[in-house]
Chains A and B, each alone.
Chain A
Amino acid sequence: MSFDEIKQLLIAKFGPDTIINEETSGMQAALIIQPDKISKVCLELRDNPETYFDLLECLSGVDYGIEENMFGVVYHLASIPYKKQLTLKVIKYHDRTRESLPSVPTVSQVWRTAEWHEREAYDLIGIHFEGHPDLRRILLPDDWEGYPLRKDYKAQEYYRGIKV
């Protein structure tokens, strides 16, 4: 299935508001999906015999910059039988208040590999994944403060009495 056919398939299945936008300028075209529908879209893309994206290659949390206040999650899907790749994106606006985190539904029930990737995105970027079964820090210590890959990150001065 080509990129446009996948787009049509998703619109037919989940309604025209599923796809917010698309990026076709680069070498790898991407679909920007409405955050609430991402797990349904992923399940459909995995199980539909014509798309069959059975492998989640990469899941990356992104902080798009301080001025935009925009966070994103990028999904790189691959289909082993069709040898195709597809990029999906989810965008969330968030004002970086300390009280809450930008929140995106989990896809860990679709691909189990997303579980660790989402933990990593939570750990380093500070994106909360709704419905994730085991959302803990993965690379940093459990009591670390802040999210290091955010653009406004400042490292804490001391960690357990040790200068950082």
Chain B
Amino acid sequence: MEQKYATRYEKLIAEAEAHEMIINIGPQHPSTHGVLRLEVITDGEIVREVIPHMGYLHRCFEKHAENLTYQQTIPFADRMDYLASMNNSHAWVMGVEKMLGIDQDIPQRIEYIRVLVCELNRIGSHLVALGTYGIDIGAFTPFLWCFRDREHIMNMLEWASGSRLLYNYIWVGGLFFDLPVGFEERCKEFVDYFKPKMVELNGLLTENQIFISRTANVGILPLDVAINYGCSGPMLRGSGLKWDLRRVDGYSAYPELEFEVPVGKGEMGTTGDCWDRFKVRIDEIEQSVLIIEQCLERLQKDLKRTTDFDPRAKLPKKIIPKAQDFYFRAESPRGELGYYFITDGKSEIPKRVKARAPSFHNLSVISEISKGVLIADLIAIIGSVDIVLGELDR
């Protein structure tokens, strides 16, 4: 059998039985969250096999990174996960700073601003995940509510960086600009506005019986499978493991901040089902709000803005790390985002860069957990993975 077909894919397609049907979902389909194509072998309404095809949004990130300096690559890193640009560039910048050995020299105010904007972006990214998940399941209102609240975050980040989605705000050694005057106060206002909105959203969607029926006990991802497939972020935590790199590695200002790492407990069904993954994101938003409040507290008191503060003071003139291999990982809203650098010590351009995208791993588990489910549940499972194709295809 192994000899007859070169790959498993050929075998699956060739051996599909006469009563089975092969359906393409995507690449242009709203519930695939971008340009993902799923080839589904179905037996009536039952999914027998899912074969994901991707690459429709491949933009050669790694090839670009091999031809540009570290500072020039930041906008490209932003464009990987376009819903969480700040987190992407933060990870890239921290990796480069570690290689240069200047990661301890970054002023505290800059670290706190970075964490603040990253957590704002994390909330924005999770709001998209939650809202569009509602739409996948058939609830339209939560989507509008989430996007209404996300709009405030986008406006604030636009105020700080000049662009709405792809910020290029965090630079190696510093920031593009200090926060605009009045940002902290407006951010505080947003937090006060946003907290009751989350309670409303929970009442509308999280505890909604229809929503629970559609997601609880669907797409159960056991912990050992999740680890074997390299899942991370809310996928892994939804399966019940307390694994958050902000805590495990304790980079940037996170060791000084207090927050919990929410995990899935199987409250509505089994641990690791779609509802758990959804709930982890809801809880993470609450924790991000706590982090933002602590950051604001410090930024308004002991790390207050001064007239002589220059966020570009520590920018290195030339970024030439010594020859080495270095893998840096950080927690993006979707999970472990890693960059692997190979440098030669002579040029400003890395020899090889590899990005470890969390969506890439999280999606690979889909054919494992959606065998034998209904097609409608397959849509629920894809939504709960929360993929961003820009990052998956790079």
Report the Cα distance A25→B99, complex, angstroms: 13
Contact call A113/B354, Cβ cutoff below 8 A: no
CB contact between B326 and one of A27, A80, A111 (< 8 Å): that residue: A27
Q: Which residue from A28, A135, A138, A141 sits with its C-beta under 8 Å from B327?
A: A28
Are B98 and A27 touching (Cβ within 8 A)? yes
In the assembled complex, how far is the CB of residue B133 from the closest CB belonging to chain A, in whole angstroms?
Answer: 24
Partner of A57, one of B54, B58, B352, B356: B356
A138 touches B54 (CB 8 A): yes
- Bound Cα distance A14, B329 (Å): 31
**1/0 per residue A58-101: CB within 8 Å of B?**
10101101000000001010001001010100000000000000
Cβ contact within 8 Å between A55 and B8: no
Q: Is the CB of B55 within 8 A of A139?
A: yes
Partner of B243, one of A80, A87, A115, A133: A80
Return the CB mask of A129-164 against B: 1 if under 8 Å, else 0: 000011111111100000011000000000000000
Query: Which residue in chain B gives the minimum CB-CB distance to A141?
Result: B55
A104 interface contact, C-beta 8 A: no
Does A30 sit within 8 A of B, measured CB to CB? yes
Q: Is B38 an interface residue (CB 8 A)?
A: no
Total interface residues in chain A, CB < 8 Å: 38
B345 → chain A closest CB, angstroms = 10
Q: Nearest Cβ distance between residue A12 and chain B, in whole angstroms?
A: 26
Do A83 and B62 have beta carbons less than 8 Å apart?
no
| B6 partner residues in chain A, CB cutoff 8 A | 135
Number of A-B residue pairs having CB atoms within 8 Å of each other in the complex: 93
| Residues in chain A near residue B394, CB distance under 8 A | 139
A26 to B325, CA, bound (A): 7
If A112-B364, A134-B8 touch, does A140 touch B325 (CB 8 Å cutoff)? no
For A55, A62, A116, the residue with the greatest tally of chain B CB atoms inside 10 Å of its CB is A55
B338/A30 in contact, CB under 8 A: no
Partner of A56, one of B55, B63, B99, B230: B230
A133 close to B230 (CB less than 8 A): no
Instruction: Provide the B325-345 mask, 1 if CB < 8 A to any CB of A, else 0.
Output: 111010000001010101000
**Which of A63, A76, A87, A136 makes the CB contact (< 8 A) with B7?**
A136
Does any Cβ of B come within 8 Å of A124's Cβ? yes
- Asked if B228 and A112 make an inter-chain contact with CB atoms under 8 angstroms apart, the answer reads yes
Q: Which of A113, A148, A149 contacts B364 (CB 8 A)?
A: A113
Contacting residues of chain B (304-358) with chain A, CB-CB under 8 angstroms: 323-327, 329, 336, 338, 340, 342, 351-352, 354, 356
Chain B residue with the shortest CB-CB distance to A144: B55
A36 touches B (CB below 8 Å):
no
Do A135 and B7 touch (CB < 8 A)? Answer: yes
* Minimal Cβ-Cβ distance residue in A for B6: A135
Question: Are A148 and B229 touching (Cβ within 8 A)?
Answer: no
Decide: B228 and A124 in contact? CB cutoff 8 A.
Answer: no
Check: A54 CB closer than 8 A to any chain B CB: yes
Which residue from chain B places its CB closest to the CB of A80 in the assembled complex? B243
> B340, A76: Cβ atoms under 8 Å?
yes
A17 in the interface (beta carbon within 8 A): no
Q: Is B360's beta carbon under 8 Å from chain A?
A: yes
A61–B393 alpha-carbon span in the complex (Å): 16
Q: Are B336 and A57 in contact (CB under 8 A)?
A: yes
B241 contacts the other chain (CB 8 A): yes
Task: Write the nearest CB–CB distance from A127 to chain B, whole angstroms.
Answer: 13
B9 touches A57 (CB 8 A): no
Complex Cα–Cα for A108 and B336 (A): 20
- The 8 Å CB contact of A58, one of B55, B340, B393, is B340
Contacts A57-B230, A58-B338 given; indicate if A139 touches B58 (C-beta within 8 A): yes
- List 28 A-B pairs, Cβ < 8 Å: A23-B325, A25-B324, A27-B326, A55-B227, A55-B230, A56-B230, A57-B327, A57-B338, A58-B338, A58-B340, A62-B352, A76-B338, A80-B241, A112-B228, A112-B229, A112-B364, A113-B229, A113-B364, A124-B62, A133-B7, A134-B8, A136-B9, A137-B55, A140-B55, A140-B58, A141-B55, A148-B63, A149-B352
Taking A113-B228, A116-B361, A138-B54 as known contacts, 4 extra A-B pairs with beta carbons closer than 8 A to each other, sorted by chain A number, are A55-B230, A76-B327, A134-B9, A137-B55
Q: Which 3 A-B pairs have the closest CB atoms?
A: A113-B230, A26-B324, A60-B354
Q: What is the interface of chain A, defined by CB distance below 8 A to chain B?
A: 23, 25-28, 30, 54-58, 60, 62-63, 65, 74, 76, 80, 83, 85, 87, 111-113, 115-116, 124, 133-141, 148-149
